[in-house]
Amino acid sequence: YLQAQEKDEL
Amino acid sequence: MNIFRLIGDMSHLLAIVLLLLKMWKTRSCAGISGKSQILFALVFATRYLDLFTAFISAYNSTMKLFFISTSLVTVYLMYFKFRATYDANHDTFRLEFLVVPVGGLAFLVNHNFSPLEILWTFSIYLESVAILPQLFMMSKTGEAETITSHYLFALGSYRALYILNWVFRYYFEGFFDLIAVVAGCVQTILYCDFFYLYITKVLKGKKLSLPA
């Protein structure tokens, strides 16, 4: 989940 | 979210709107590299695969949808609707010279070896060089329409603002992504020559002309 959360940039 | 990233995203959005406006108003895609637009569509397609699996925020999802859809519309306009005005003779950069090395590098250098992560890494590397066909085309034609130079200035500024965003996130959130930062710096450096010409010429009301 952290990985997905980290990818919060466009 | 921080002000640098927000202004960066707005600058990116502005660039895409400026390009669509230019093509729609002049009914022409003269001076625009279709190859760069194909690469941008590929960048969004491979980066936003998590659009339906990882919900970050309404803003994030909306922007992803906007970028994917406008990049496809742009390619459509260039290669179908306004195809007659597409300057294929000057848009000759070999895409395989970019996609193949970038693809190989994404396989070798990434945060973890999973399909989604490799595609994201490919997208990040590809975006850093996606403007090369456009810059190459401008060096061949030796000039660019004023609206096209505004498009490029907004497009180049977006990733420069993202660099400020990464500095901000490093100091205030401890966030750091080496792959995104290195690629973002390469991407921004590629615009430096154009930024110089834009600021010394276009902002003084002159036409952008490159030393051919």
Q: How many CB atoms within 10 Å of residue B76?
A: 14
pLDDT band at B212 (very low <50, low <70, confident <90, very high): low
**Spatial distance between the Cα atoms of B21 and B18, rounded to a whole number of angstroms:** 5
pLDDT tens per residue, range B133-165: 999 999 999 999 999 999 999 999 999 999 999
- How do residues B58-116 score in pLDDT, each as one tens digit? 999 999 999 999 999 999 999 999 999 999 999 999 999 999 999 999 999 999 999 99
| Interchain CB distance below 8 Å, A10 and B120 | no
Residues of chain B that touch chain A, judged by Cβ-Cβ distance less than 8 Å? 5, 9, 12, 50, 53-54, 56-57, 60, 63-64, 67, 111-112, 117, 120, 162, 165, 175, 177, 180
Per residue in B11-34, pLDDT (tens digit) is 999 999 999 999 999 999 999 999
Interface test with A, best of B2, B56, B67 (most A CBs within 10 A): B56
- What is the crossing angle of helices B192-200 and B178-190, to 10°? 40
Tell me the β-bridge partners of B30: none
ipTM of the prediction: 0.89
pLDDT at A5: 52
pLDDT digits (tens, 9 = 90+) for B171-193: 999 999 999 999 999 999 999 99
pLDDT reading at A3 higher than 80 = no
- Predicted confidence at residue B72, as pLDDT, reads 98
Asked if B64 lies within 8 A of A10 by C-beta distance, the reply is: yes
- For chain B, say whether A2 makes contact (Cβ under 8 Å): no
- Angle at B165 (CA atoms; ends B201, B104), nearest 5 degrees: 85
Number of H helices, E strands in chain B: 9, 2
Question: Which residues in chain B are closer than 8 Å to A7, comparing Cβ atoms?
Answer: 50, 54, 56, 120
Tell me the DSSP string of B138-167. Answer: HHHH-EE-HHHHHHHHHHHHHHHHHHHHHH
Q: In angstroms, what CA-CA distances link B188 with A9, B46, B86, B138?
A: 17, 21, 26, 17
Q: Supply the pLDDT for residue B209.
A: 87
Furthest-apart CA pair in chain A: how many Å? Answer: 17
> Are the Cβ atoms of A8 and B9 closer than 8 angstroms?
no
Find the residue in A nearest to B123 (Cα). A10
